[in-house]
Chain A
């Protein structure tokens, strides 16, 4: 199914659009949310809220704004940040855990896709620590280039290219 077909189905509020969307994106969104929110129940709440928001606001999305995945990714991150604020963290960024997404692997019994994860675990071991950090900040936590440059202590101009190199390593491994 292309993105266009899926969007049409969501706009029509078709049940199978939801099923498709859930199968395709829920794990990715839940990983991003869980990386920001440690408490499992709260992370599940945020995932639910995210889906409800996507469903309600689908009319406000159009493709000139970016990819659909990008849009829902932002909805998930923002919903997670709102949740943290409501829990009394005024500056959500500063209160984010210092862990990166790799910690999600530590509790193996909770993994969704054990088999994928075994291969990825090996791969992530090979991935440079700098790459894990940079992907964690930019992709998982939605840091701007400037924020990532400050956090990592690398020049603003190299944030983009370093991230590109890291994603290229990942793509070589995944063959995409």
Chain B
């Protein structure tokens, strides 16, 4: 018999699973006794499925161990009668067992704490990993903002506060080479519920406003840095407060900031 071929046939796996006939089992257990390679192979297969299945076990509480133990007839070691010699040795015995109990209790307590600690540490690790990812994302957006601000091809337009909100301000970074426009809105108050800031590119003669975007998600944008649409030919920029979704033309009474290029 070719041992390798026999092993590769997959019959030994079925042997470990317990799916063969009594006759086949007899044959294989005999073969295993005679042939070291087959015996080792069987052990390895057993190890693999034992580990696989053990790892898929739902949690088993210590209670189960005790419950089952109570149902089995167990010998608790051999009982050796003790001759009492003197009171003091009995006392030492009691003292020793008390010490042992205390020790065992201490170790159990420690073990318990350590294993709880392990779970807590695992959870902490997951949280930390989430935080790191979060920070990486924020870092990315900050970097983007920095890149935009630093770009030498930018025309920076400062928008000054208007009648409705004299304290507010904003900056527009207009890169004519890449045709991108960013708005730094840190100087604007949070818009009231149901309202949104709308950015306008303006041509002055005659005055023609073109909407180039909404500052959506204002509360959630920590850096208050927004990308808006291209503003070809703009001569000024303005920001108005509009109902959610934006308006077709600017509500001039709600003009927050304005600035000329």
Contacts and interface: CB of A to CB of B under 8 A. Distances in A.
A59 B150 CA distance: 84
A27 B60 contact: yes
Nearest to B46: A69
B58 A164 contact: no
Contacts of A31: 53-58
B44 A171 contact: yes
Name the interface size band of chain A. 35 or more
Contacts of B13: 138, 160, 163-164, 167
Given A34-B58, A113-B57, A176 B14 contact: no
A10 B67 CA distance: 18
A164 B17 CA distance: 12
Interface in B67-117: 67-69, 71-77
B10 A111 contact: no
B9 interface: yes
A48 to B, nearest CB: 5
B80 to A, nearest CB: 16
Contacts of A174: 47-48, 51-52
B25 A65 contact: yes
Contacts of A12: 75
Interface in A126-147: 135, 138-140, 142-145
Name the interface size band of chain B. 35 or more
B50 to A, nearest CB: 5
A112 B57 contact: yes
Contact of B46 (A67, A105, A162): A67
Contact of A63 (B29, B49, B69, B77): B29
The binding surface of chain B is classed by DSSP as helix
Contact of A28 (B17, B44, B50, B77): B50
A6 interface: no
B191 interface: no
Contacts of A67: 15-16, 42, 46
Given A31-B57, A111-B59, A69 B9 contact: no
Contact of A70 (B10, B18, B64): B18
A96 to B, nearest CB: 16
Q: Which of B68, B71, B74, B122 has the most CB of A within 10 A?
A: B68
Contacts of A74: 18
B59 A110 contact: yes
B147 interface: no
21 contacts: A12-B75, A15-B69, A18-B68, A26-B57, A26-B64, A28-B57, A31-B55, A34-B58, A43-B58, A64-B26, A66-B18, A69-B46, A102-B56, A104-B57, A140-B53, A145-B19, A160-B9, A161-B8, A161-B10, A164-B8, A174-B52
A51 B18 CA distance: 18
Contact of B58 (A30, A48, A143): A30
